[in-house]
């Protein structure tokens, strides 16, 4: 009797699980499957959602997986662009909810005015499986971002201090948190915002792993790279570091993540929140383009 009761409970649980995982269809034609549902505030247009996403085609091939990328998506909820859209699905979910939405590939890419990419069949659905981590209005989001950045600044400072001590480095530290080692003091001019600079560089992780180098870059043929300084063309750590150098000088920059690639990193190359090393040689400094009288110089705010 006890054995039969156990089987009965098992079958009942299995049936309930199957019911909970059935695909439903909304009034607008959105096909969805709720996995976890909690009571909580549902997002409205303009709110920012932070969520994990696994994207699959109709052959169950994974097109994207933010779990493997190591960083969830963040997206401001927009007015649904078409009936049965992903945005409609997101509006159904509160914090900690999870669900799968089956979105028409034809409607999605037609609205984006793009052809169907390889791996996506005409007439098929794309499966968006979502786990909502946070629902915030714009003010809440900005406050959380500021707090996260402040916390990351402290973490980066500790990492840099430990690295400098371990390697017995003599560095110059700026108020922003940038550290640099002067390898060779240049004897030329210091660049200012609007100047064109020419630099050679090697970029490395703190582990010593090299991820980029002007000497090995096939696009530049191993020549220095040229760019205007002070115009946001490069990461903030480069802007500040290079404007502290003189022509002909060489430095190693130890750049906190908040002045480099931040929490985004560079997928497959630079992990999120990475402190970076750059060996930089300032090869040349030239004046930028002339501006008409009364016009601001390049880089001027």
Cβ atoms < 10 Å from Cβ of 187 = 9
Q: Which of 231, 233, 252, 232 is nearest to 241 (CA)?
A: 252
Helix (H) / strand (E) element for 164: namely helix 138-166
Query: How far is it, in rounded angstroms, from Cα 251 to Cα 190?
Result: 14
Cβ burial of 278 (10 Å; 0-12, 13-18, 19+) is buried
Query: How far is it, in rounded angstroms, from Cα 291 to Cα 18?
Result: 69
Residue 213: DSSP 8-state: E
188-200 in b/e form (b: 16+ CB < 10 A) is: eeebebbbbbbbb
Residues identified as active-site: 201, 211-212, 235, 261, 278
Q: Which of 7, 121, 152, 1 is nearest to 56 (CA)?
A: 121
Query: How far is it, in rounded angstroms, from Cα 23 to Cα 31?
Result: 6
């Amino acid at each position: 009797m006890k054995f039969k009761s156990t089987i009965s409970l098992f079958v009942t649980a299995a049936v309930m699980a199957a019911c909970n995982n059935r695909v439903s269809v909304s009034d607008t034609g959105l096909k969805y499957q709720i996995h976890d549902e909690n009571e909580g505030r549902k997002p409205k247009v303009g709110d920012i959602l932070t969520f994990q996403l696994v994207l699959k085609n109709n052959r169950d091939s994974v097109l994207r997986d933010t779990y493997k990328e190591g960083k969830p998506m963040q997206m401001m909820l927009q007015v649904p662009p078409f009936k049965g859209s992903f945005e409609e699905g997101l509006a159904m979910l509160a914090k900690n909810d999870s669900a799968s939405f089956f979105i028409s590939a034809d409607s999605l890419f037609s609205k984006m005015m793009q052809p169907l990419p390889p791996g996506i069949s005409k007439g098929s659905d794309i499966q968006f499986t979502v786990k909502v981590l946070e629902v915030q209005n714009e003010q809440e989001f900005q406050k959380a971002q500021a707090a996260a950045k402040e916390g990351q600044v402290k973490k980066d400072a500790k990492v840099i201090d430990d690295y400098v001590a371990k390697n017995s480095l003599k560095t110059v530290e700026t108020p922003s948190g940038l550290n640099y080692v002067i390898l060779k003091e240049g004897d030329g001019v210091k660049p200012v915002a609007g100047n064109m600079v020419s630099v050679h560089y090697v970029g490395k992780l703190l582990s010593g792993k090299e991820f980029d180098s002007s000497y090995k870059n096939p696009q530049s043929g191993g020549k220095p790279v040229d760019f205007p300084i002070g115009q946001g063309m490069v990461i903030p750590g480069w802007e500040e570091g290079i404007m502290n150098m003189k022509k002909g000088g060489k430095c190693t920059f130890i750049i906190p993540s908040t002045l480099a690639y931040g929490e985004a990193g560079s997928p497959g190359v630079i992990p999120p929140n990475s402190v970076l090393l750059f060996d930089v040689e300032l090869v040349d400094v030239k004046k930028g383009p002339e501006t008409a009288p009364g016009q601001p110089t390049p880089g001027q705010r």
